[in-house]
């Protein structure tokens, strides 16, 4: 049973703080993702990693960075938190498909509030 | 790149009725279309998917249909139950690497 965990369910930070959100998966998945979920906007991709130390920008990378030093762990960093980054953050992972796409397994989400 | 539009944004049905959610996509090369369900306070989970070599797939009360010519796919839920109340997201592939583009989501409310 795939398990994806996130470091916090709820987080409250102040404007300008540096924020770390961590995600860990236990199924040796190559691909990991960070999404942001806002009502009416669906799940928007912030960053994607297809291997250790490899990353790609998604649709909304501004104000975020990521780190993947180990295969099982993918961290999202808000360099200087702003109020417009108040949102639900979801991490996901999936195995590498050779010819087809595979199910993405999501973490429980972190609801971040920036004051 | 791929663009996915999902309708309706909210849907209320009476318990026992059917519910249909429709998504359109832009890239004719897309070949994989999953549907995720997110119950209140929980994580999204895959409930059904379809690949472009078939036109319909069923799993008990849920089914997905695909019209490649018109570039749309739909989720059908029959005999709805209160536990079907959730947000449903459709998705389509983008570029490579198992990346997906998600629709904006549909809030389904099943009234008992």
pLDDT per residue as tens digits for the range A42-89: 999 999 999 999 999 999 999 999 999 999 999 999 999 999 999 999
How far out from the chain centre does Cα B30 lie? 15
Question: How many angstroms separate the CA atoms of A91 and A26, rounded?
Answer: 13
Chain B positions contacting chain A at CB under 8 Å are 6, 9, 31-32, 34, 36, 42-46, 49, 51, 89, 93, 97-105
- When CB atoms are compared, the residue of A42, A45, A90 closest to B105 is A42
Inspect the interface and report whether the beta carbons of A42 and B103 lie closer than 8 Å: yes
Task: Compute the average pLDDT of residues A27-35.
Answer: 94
- When CB atoms are compared, the residue of A4, A41, A109 closest to B104 is A41
Residue A1 has pLDDT above 90, yes or no: no
- When CB atoms are compared, the residue of A40, A100, A103 closest to B51 is A100
Contacts of B9 in chain A (CB under 8 A): 40
- When CB atoms are compared, the residue of B9, B51, B99 closest to A45 is B99
State how far the alpha carbon of A89 is from the alpha carbons of A27, A35, B68, in Å: 21, 6, 32
Inspect the interface and report whether the beta carbons of B43 and A109 lie closer than 8 Å: yes
Inspect the interface and report whether the beta carbons of B102 and A31 lie closer than 8 Å: no
Task: Compute the average pLDDT of residues B99-112.
Answer: 96
Q: What is the mean pLDDT of chain B?
A: 94
Question: How many angstroms separate the CA atoms of A43 and B78, rounded?
Answer: 26
Q: List strands edge to edge, sheet with B72-77.
A: B4-7, B19-25, B72-77, B62-67, B56-59
pLDDT per residue as tens digits for the range B21-74: 999 999 888 889 999 999 999 999 999 999 888 899 999 999 999 999 999 999
Indicate which of A1, A43, A61, A95 best probes the interface with B, i.e. most B CBs within 10 Å of its own CB. A43
> What is the CB neighbour count within 10 angstroms for residue A87?
20
């Amino acid at each position: 049973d795939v398990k994806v965990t996130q470091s916090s369910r709820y987080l409250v930070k102040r404007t300008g703080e540096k924020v770390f959100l961590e995600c860990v998966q236990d199924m040796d998945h190559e691909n990991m993702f960070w999404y942001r979920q806002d009502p009416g906007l669906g799940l928007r991709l912030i960053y994607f990693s297809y291997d250790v130390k490899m990353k790609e920008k998604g649709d909304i990378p501004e104000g975020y960075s990521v780190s993947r030093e180990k295969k099982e762990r993918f961290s999202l960093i808000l360099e200087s938190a702003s109020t417009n980054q108040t949102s639900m953050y979801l991490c996901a992972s999936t195995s590498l498909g050779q010819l087809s796409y595979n199910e993405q397994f999501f973490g429980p989400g972190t609801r971040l509030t920036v004051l | 790149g791929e663009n996915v539009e999902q309708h309706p944004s909210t849907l209320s049905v009476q318990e026992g009725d059917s519910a249909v959610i429709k998504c359109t996509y832009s890239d004719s090369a897309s070949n994989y279309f999953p549907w995720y369900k997110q119950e209140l306070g929980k994580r999204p989970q895959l409930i059904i998917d379809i690949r472009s070599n078939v036109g319909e797939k069923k799993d008990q009360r849920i089914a997905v249909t695909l019209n490649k010519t018109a570039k749309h796919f739909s989720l059908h839920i029959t005999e709805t139950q209160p536990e079907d109340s959730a947000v449903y997201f459709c998705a389509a592939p983008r570029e490579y690497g198992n990346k997906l583009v998600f629709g904006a989501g549909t809030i389904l409310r099943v009234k008992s």
